[in-house]
């Protein structure tokens, strides 16, 4: 507890030197970047119903490795593409509260957003951003005990928020979330049985690296 004034001053100077030495951060125009992390795809809680409302649909969460690639063509404006391992979701189908089948599907959710960085080009170490864009989701490997389940591909809007906490010239800690509108037409043995609204929140935590 007995820190002397010189000790405190030295610590303060060291902190100032550290801050100064890393002040050429100014992330902005011309940066290519990638973000790597773990993403959880959490579909909204009520995913609609099939067969004229007889069957309730509940699509379960999945968590996978994910990454993004992006480019800042202006200090405050960039584009980013979200990619990931294939996500696999269990789909509970229930009638009157009783689960009658656990179907499943895999999907890839590439999502392209146009982004705004309000503090881009400044030396702020906390760099938030928002984005809007589009998602394309292609489903595969659907399985169900009820028959041959097929889910159509989906195009939908996407929104995004995120923040980078800059560590140095290249590395940052990152947290990001996307809301994605994914609606798919379900068919069983070739017959259309309704629409499944997945509309997930995708939450990702990891690191950012700029080139």
Nearer to Ni ion, 164 or 199 (CB): 199
Nearer to Ni ion, 85 or 183 (CB): 183
From the CB of 184, what's the least distance to Ni ion, in Å?
A: 9
Bridge partners of 77, per DSSP, are 74, 116
CA-CA distance, 193 to 65, in Å (whole number)?
32
Judged by CB under 5 A, the residue of 75, 85, 183, 185 near Ni ion is 183
* Cα–Cα dist 176/17, whole Å: 31
Indicate the SS3 state at residue 12.
helix
Q: Which of 199, 200, 208, 210 binds Ni ion (CB under 5 A)?
A: 199
Contact status: 164 vs Ni ion (CB under 5 A): no
Candidate segments 41-49, 96-104, 142-150, 196-204, binder of Ni ion by CB under 5 A: 196-204
- Put residue 128 in one of left, alpha, beta given phi > 0 → left and psi -120 to 50 → alpha: beta
Considering only 31, 75, 181, 185, the residue that binds Ni ion (CB under 5 A) is 181
* CA atoms of 170 and 34, how far apart (whole Å): 10
For residues 152 and 195, the answer to whether their CB atoms sit within 8 Å is no
| Residue 210 CB, nearest approach to Ni ion (Å) | 34
The footprint of Ni ion (CB under 5 A) covers: 181, 183, 197, 199
């Amino acid at each position: 507890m007995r820190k002397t004034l010189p000790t405190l001053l030295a610590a303060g100077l060291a902190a100032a030197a550290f801050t100064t030495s890393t002040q050429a951060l100014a992330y902005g125009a011309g940066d290519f970047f990638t973000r790597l992390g773990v993403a959880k795809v959490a579909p909204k809680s009520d995913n609609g119903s099939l067969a004229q409302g007889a069957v309730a649909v509940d699509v379960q969460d999945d968590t996978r490795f994910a990454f993004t690639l992006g480019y800042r063509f202006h200090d405050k404006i960039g584009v980013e593409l979200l990619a990931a391992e294939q996500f696999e979701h269990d789909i509970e189908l229930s009638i009157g509260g009783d689960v009658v089948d656990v179907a499943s599907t895999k999907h890839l959710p590439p999502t392209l957003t146009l982004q705004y960085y309000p503090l881009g080009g400044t030396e702020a170490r906390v760099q938030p951003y928002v984005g809007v864009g589009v998602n394309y989701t292609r489903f595969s490997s659907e399985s169900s005990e009820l028959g041959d389940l097929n889910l159509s591909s989906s195009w939908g809007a996407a929104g995004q928020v995120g923040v980078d906490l800059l560590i140095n010239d290249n590395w940052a800690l990152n947290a990001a979330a996307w809301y994605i509108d994914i609606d798919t037409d379900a068919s069983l043995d070739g017959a259309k049985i309704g629409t499944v609204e997945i509309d997930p929140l995708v939450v990702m935590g990891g690191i950012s690296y700029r080139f």
